[in-house]
Structure 1
């Protein structure tokens, strides 16, 4: 066995290695998209979709009725419904345009509503949107439909509307139950509100509930974040996503409302991540990749055990579709040919799609080298390992170069970020797994180009 690199466990090491690196929900990452990918480019890619291809859809609703200061999503706050209604009319135009280009080809296996707050939509508009999507695209009978819910939005009519469109998974943003933390991030949401929503969706036969939790938030302590985890576990969620708060005020100006003096340092963040992960595992959940957990019988846990785990802009998934179509402002589509991102500004997006155009403004076409490195990075992020032989089988000369590159790093003490090789398989050591983003970054050819800034690795 070849080994290289120092031990990474321990808080001092966490502080040393917690430098800014991408989250690798795509490769190449979004900062390297460019204006050379246009609406016509994307139209051509969509037109190459095969009759039997599996598709995923992502629908972005870019509105909230309050602005959470921790949020790094593309959204805007509004107290009025008129802008939301106008946006929906434009979204229906985009849905029709993309559906016309596909012309019946492909079958939707998964649909995800994100935001913003999808549940800010009125109940009748939720039903209208579901109907518009099913009219424009062919849906598999067993398609997974997941929706991000804001408990503050929910009422009986919305519960019923979501059931009517076939929601199979509800994802609730919890973040933290501590009132002091909630006030610091402008996200007040009681445990009782959250429980009522979990009970509401389960009463309508939604078979999977996911809770999003954060560590590294202002005023969080090791004890307070552990208390939140234990409260969340009493709801018996099927999945838990445990993310580190990404403080990126240069990217999202409203995060300047959070005083950096309130934030835990790198060592405390590392301790919070380790302790909360331990509590969740001891409750019987299986760790999935870097930051997800699932009950052993959940499809995500089954996929992870069987080596069928993937990663996209929504995080870890068992969705194997090679084509993901993003709808709405800022949405990113991923196709075998490359990535295409929509206009982020809602007003300009609406103008483009109302005119019958696609809203694509940037993206990147994938080279053979990109495909090979994307596969290696995804396998590291999902399995903490990749097979050198499989890399060569899949990608030929590109795979050989990457394997040679990995072996060269193993010969340089301190440069392999916890990577070891045994019998041709490159594996991230157990103590280095919390910093797997750092390991994945070793294979990122774009990382030092363009001066992109990212969040901390832990």
Structure 2
């Protein structure tokens, strides 16, 4: 690796947020509670579109790399009890909405939502259908652990209305899998893809990771090659976030086996090049999609968005988070539920909302949120991205121009009146976006590496 590139990686791979929200979740505070959320739900427009995220915070095995809010269980009883609380929260939110809004997207995440029994999965769909007005073409995605599945669960997901299967892979190398406690063969994964497609679920997303323990470029290249054999419609290529101060189970991963920032950069570039050469278009800084996939089409048409699941073509006006730790987004701001499952269940079963904290957005917050989203989704920021913000937008664009004019590294430039992240700067777009984050560095939050 050339010394100049090593220098850039040193300076631009600093820990920064992933910007799935702005301000980011560490800045949420307890001044936003269930009463505030109820008022915000009460002001949702009758014709608003809504996206539902349902969090299932249980796994029957705990992967050491995981950064999600989840817990390990070998018994189904805690899951069944949790679902009673989830149904209760659905009823509470539905009552506050009063019939307003139309659901255009549903996402089940975790944890491992595929550990739900077929009966419980279909009961959950029935509850959602009763509580909300579901669009006839509602898009439904589920995060899938191949180790949980059988024919009954496959059939239940198809009956649920699944339109996209999001399959966790991470890496196919047995040594890497052992180090992260995620044993999963290519044959298992292929069987899931085949079962999904046999049931008419045409869209398949694979989640891959770089920066894992014992991972090498040669090994990652083999994983990418194997993943491409499955002909995925989308690939999410995430950098492993080693945050043991937040997720103590990550201490099970030997830190000396983790690739350094230079190796991580090489892995990311190699994987991205292989995916692009196979015909998958780069979407933002960590997604890839076939040219005819709705995500790629949204990117071409300037409709790409970013939320807590990453890049999306979901254009809903409101995101409703349901379940322990789930985050929602409304025009007024963000809300996040109680994280401990026991406290969450106790609260909602007592008839209350589960909001633990949140953030009410100011006009300045909304403007900077739009600017950061434009950079992450389109790698450019222009006047049209900040329409409606008046003099404040002019000032922010002035900040952007000053950054470009003093950028000796060639990461950004002014082009046709817009602030543009160059090809050289794209791998470091999160670091560039952080320049527009007025909260960055003001709290105690710690973040993962930018690449």
TM-score scaled by length of structure 2: 0.98
Structure 1 position 432 matched with structure 2 position 406? no
Among residues 73, 85, 88, which one is paired with 2:83 in the alignment? 88
Is contact 2:337–2:355 with CA below 8 Å preserved after alignment? yes
Of residues 242-251 and 405-414 in structure 1, the stretch that sits farther from structure 2 once superposed is 405-414
* Kept after mapping to 2: 8 A contact 1:368/1:398: no
Per-residue deviation at 1:322? 2.3
Is 2:212 the counterpart of 1:222? no
**For 1:382-407, what per-residue CA distance to the aligned partner results, in whole angstroms no more than 9, with x for missing partners?**
000111x2245321122122112112
Aligned residues of 1:90 and 1:350 also touching (Cα < 8 A): yes
- Structure 2 counterpart of 1:330: 325
Question: Which residue of structure 1 lines up, in the alignment, with residue 121 of structure 2?
Answer: 126
Q: Judge conservation of contact 1:11–1:271 (CA < 8 Å) in 2.
A: no
TM-superposed deviation, 1:417: 7.6
- Offset of residue 207 of structure 1: 1.7
Counterpart among 439, 445, 448 of residue 452 in structure 1: 445
C-alpha distance in structure 1 between counterparts of 2:417 and 2:243, whole Å = 38
Q: How does 1:89-108 map to 2 (within 5 A)?
A: 89-108=84-103
Match of 1:407 among 377, 401, 410: 401
- For structure 1, which segment, 417-426 or 119-128, has the greater mean C-alpha deviation from structure 2 after superposition? 417-426
Q: Is the 8 A contact 1:391 1:399 kept in 2?
A: no
Query: Could you tell me which residue of structure 2 aligns to residue 299 of structure 1?
Result: 294
Q: Report the alpha carbon displacement of residue 9 of structure 1 after superposing the two structures with TM.
A: 7.7
How far off is 1:136 after superposition? 0.4
Q: Is the 8 A contact 2:404 2:419 kept in 1?
A: no
For structure 1, the residue ranges without an aligned partner over 5 or more in a row are 1-6
Give deviations 1:290-327, integer Å, cap 9, x for gaps: 00000110010011011110000001001111210000
The equivalent position to 2:18 in structure 1, one of 16, 23, 34, is: 23
Tell me by how many angstroms 1:259 deviates: 1.1
- 1:362 is matched with 357
Q: Find out whether 1:178 has 2:178 as its counterpart.
A: no
1:32 is the counterpart of 2:33? no
Q: Residue 39 of structure 2 aligns with which residue? A: 44
What pairs with 1:218-257 in structure 2 (closer than 5 Å)? Answer: 218-257=213-252
TM-score normalised by length of structure 1: 0.96
Task: Indicate the residue corresponding to 1:279 in structure 2.
Answer: 274
* 8 A Cα contact 2:410 2:422, kept in partner: no
Which consecutive segments of 4 or more residues in structure 1 shift more than 4 A? Answer: none
Equivalents in 1 of 2:397, 2:219: separation in Å?
43
SS at match of 1:152: helix
**Residue 430 of structure 1: how far off its partner (Å):** 0.3
Partner of 2:390: 396
- Unpaired stretches in structure 2, ≥5 consecutive residues: none
**Contact between 1:249 and 1:256, CA under 8 Å: does it hold in 2?**
yes
Aligned to 2:59: 64
**Size of the alignment, in residue pairs?**
450
Deviations 1:50-95 (A, max 9, x none): 1100000000000000110000000000000110000000100000
Residue 413 of structure 1: how far off its partner (Å): 4.4
Aligned to 1:188: 183
Match of 1:353 among 348, 353, 360: 348
